[in-house]
């Protein structure tokens, strides 16, 4: 199991200068975006570095929902600066971009020539896509130790501060993919509730849905002992292991927190208790999915966010169409879990309970369905198991729909500008999300994926 060291608490951002100084760093690169640079969280980082005389340079040109091109631009900047440590201050886009920067800075990557320079390079023959996941790249394992990276999240969403994943859009392929390697996880995650006070409403909603799906997907993923084939050597073991007893603990606690605090954190941005717990849920879910993985919700979301070219959101930059990541993930979640529940009904039932659904437990569960079938004279043409599966799926999906309805999020793909004629293109791209499909607990072929997209045109 991998996880960054986590420091949690109000005001702990002010300690970052000591952390960088104690690393022996001579020059750190602070990475952020045009919005976060004006927040109290970024100012706290800068003040801490300045007060201890730490030399630093700022890169604030991170693209929200980064592309391979925007990451290449950031990588080139990092190489020219010549720093020996990194600090990422922002949401998932910032932290993921910084992971690419410090990976390719170590291997002396040249964005201009699309090749890694031979000098001091651990993989002199490699280019950018050699480190990207299949089928777009080779998933090459870097051999050289990484420079230190400290992540300071400013959203309660991605959990990227604890994981070895960096996700990017690949416009050429009309899909997202990423780099998933244990070595690119941050050395330290500074999880400070003060840094999410300025998070806009829709950012809180969509990043919250990302947390929700991280926890649901990691808890319901294909069990680790069923994932195959077994790698020949430990270093070849994939980052996403499938559901496992350790990840389960983190994912379940994240779901419990979501059930209690998600609505409160959105309804009142000044509710410090709720927002603090949502930040914890984000980090907990990050630890969970950073090892177990995410599956079909995320796999199907990547073409949605990549191909959506007409949707604008008021709380995100208005310079270009953008479907926020969390929105793209939750849009198919109802149809996804209707399909998946039969793979492990009890896990899906437990997830629904954590979110607040009233699902009978154990013997009561069996007696409940026996009563229901007798009461209805077995009118429905299904055995008890299928009836149970359908009931559980309904309970879990009712919770998801309820969140979406209460927050007034766009009601499905149609509300984001998609047409039924787009399903073919979406499905073609989704099939390439092989890392996610590999740990989906039921086989999801192109036909099933197309049906899920079709069901997701209207969700509630």
Q: What is the mean pLDDT of residues 70-86?
A: 91
Summarised one tens digit per residue, pLDDT across range 190-233 is 999 999 998 999 999 999 999 999 999 999 999 999 988 888 88
Helices and strands, number each (H, E), in the chain? 16, 10
Instruction: Judge if 189 and 207 occupy the same domain.
Output: no
pTM score, whole prediction: 0.90
Instruction: Judge if 369 and 396 occupy the same domain.
Output: yes
Instruction: Judge if 180 and 262 occupy the same domain.
Output: no
Q: Domain range holding 380?
A: 201-456
Instruction: Judge if 325 and 391 occupy the same domain.
Output: yes
Indicate which CATH number applies to the domain containing 208.
Answer: 1.20.1090.10
Quick one: pLDDT at residue 106? 63
Q: Who's near 43: CB < 8 A, 6+ residues apart? A: none
Q: Which helix (H) or strand (E) holds 168?
A: strand 165-170
Write the DSSP symbol of residue 194: G
Which of 153, 172, 195 delimits the end of a domain?
195
**Whole-number Å distance between alpha carbons of 74 and 97:** 7
Neighbours of 436 (CB within 10 A): 25
Instruction: Judge if 157 and 272 occupy the same domain.
Output: no
Which of 139, 165, 195 delimits the end of a domain?
195
Instruction: Judge if 302 and 383 occupy the same domain.
Output: yes
Indicate which CATH number applies to the domain containing 87.
Answer: 3.40.50.1970
Q: Label the pairing between strands 149-153 and 85-90.
A: parallel
Write the DSSP symbol of residue 67: B
**Whole-number Å distance between alpha carbons of 27 and 151:** 16
Q: Label the pairing between strands 109-110 and 115-116.
A: antiparallel
Q: Name the band, by pLDDT with cuts 50, 70 and 90, for residue 97.
A: very high
- Tokens 């777009």, residue located: 136
**Whole-number Å distance between alpha carbons of 391 and 349:** 9
Summarised one tens digit per residue, pLDDT across range 384-443 is 455 577 889 899 999 999 999 999 999 999 999 999 999 999 999 999 987 888 899 999
- Tokens 């089928």, residue located: 135
**Whole-number Å distance between alpha carbons of 73 and 75:** 5
Summarised one tens digit per residue, pLDDT across range 252-306 is 999 999 999 999 999 999 999 999 999 999 999 999 999 999 999 999 999 999 9
Quick one: pLDDT at residue 404? 98
Write 261-264 long-range contacts (CB < 8 A, 24+): 262/208, 262/212, 262/403, 263/403, 263/406
Instruction: Judge if 139 and 225 occupy the same domain.
Output: no
Quick one: pLDDT at residue 386? 58
**Whole-number Å distance between alpha carbons of 206 and 329:** 9
Number of domains in the chain: 2
Answer whether 155's CB lies under 8 Å from 35's CB. Answer: no
Instruction: Judge if 140 and 162 occupy the same domain.
Output: yes
């Amino acid at each position: 199991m991998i996880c960054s060291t986590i420091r949690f608490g109000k005001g702990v951002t002010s300690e970052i200068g000591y952390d960088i100084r104690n690393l022996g760093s001579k020059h750190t690169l602070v990475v952020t975006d045009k919005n976060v640079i004006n927040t109290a969280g970024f100012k706290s980082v800068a003040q801490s570095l300045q007060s201890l005389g730490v030399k630093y340079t700022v890169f604030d040109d991170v693209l929200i929902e980064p592309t391979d091109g925007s990451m290449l631009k950031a990588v080139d900047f990092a190489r020219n600066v010549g720093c020996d440590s990194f600090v990422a201050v922002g949401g998932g886009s910032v932290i993921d971009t910084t992971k690419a920067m410090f990976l390719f800075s170590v291997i002396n990557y040249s964005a201009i020539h699309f090749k890694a320079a031979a000098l001091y390079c651990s993989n002199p023959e490699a280019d950018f896509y050699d480190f990207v996941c299949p089928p777009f790249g080779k998933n090459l394992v870097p051999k050289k130790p990484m420079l230190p990276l400290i992540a300071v999240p400013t959203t309660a969403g991605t959990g990227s501060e604890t994981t070895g994943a960096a996700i990017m859009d690949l416009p050429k392929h009309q899909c997202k993919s990423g780099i998933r390697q244990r070595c690119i996880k941050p050395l330290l995650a500074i999880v400070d509730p003060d840094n999410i006070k300025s998070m806009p409403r829709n950012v809180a909603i969509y990043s919250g849905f990302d947390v929700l799906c991280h926890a649901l997907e990691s808890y319901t993923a294909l069990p680790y002992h069923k994932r195959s084939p077994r790698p020949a050597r430990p270093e070849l073991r994939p980052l996403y292991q499938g559901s496992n007893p350790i990840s389960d603990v983190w994912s379940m606690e994240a779901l419990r927190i979501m059930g209690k605090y998600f609505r409160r954190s959105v309804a009142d941005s000044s509710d410090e208790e709720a927002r603090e717990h949502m930040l914890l849920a984000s980090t907990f879910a990050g630890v969970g999915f950073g090892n177990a993985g995410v599956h079909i919700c995320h796999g199907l979301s990547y073409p949605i966010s990549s191909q959506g070219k007409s949707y604008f959101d008021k709380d995100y930059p208005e310079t270009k169409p953008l479907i926020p990541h969390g929105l793209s993930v939750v849009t198919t979640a109802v149809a996804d879990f209707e399909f998946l529940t039969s793979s492990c009904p009890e896990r899906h039932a437990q997830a629904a309970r954590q979110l607040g659904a009233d699902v009978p437990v154990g013997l009561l569960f069996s007696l409940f369905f026996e009563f229901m079938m007798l009461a209805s004279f077995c009118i429905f043409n299904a055995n008890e198991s299928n009836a149970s599966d359908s009931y559980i799926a309904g309970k879990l999906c009712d919770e998801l729909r309820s969140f979406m309805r209460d927050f007034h999020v766009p009601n499905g793909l149609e509300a984001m500008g998609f047409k039924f004629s787009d399903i073919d293109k979406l499905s073609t791209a989704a099939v390439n999300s092989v890392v996610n499909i590999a740990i989906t607990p039921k086989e999801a072929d192109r036909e099933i994926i197309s049906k899920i997209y079709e069901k997701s045109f209207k969700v509630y």
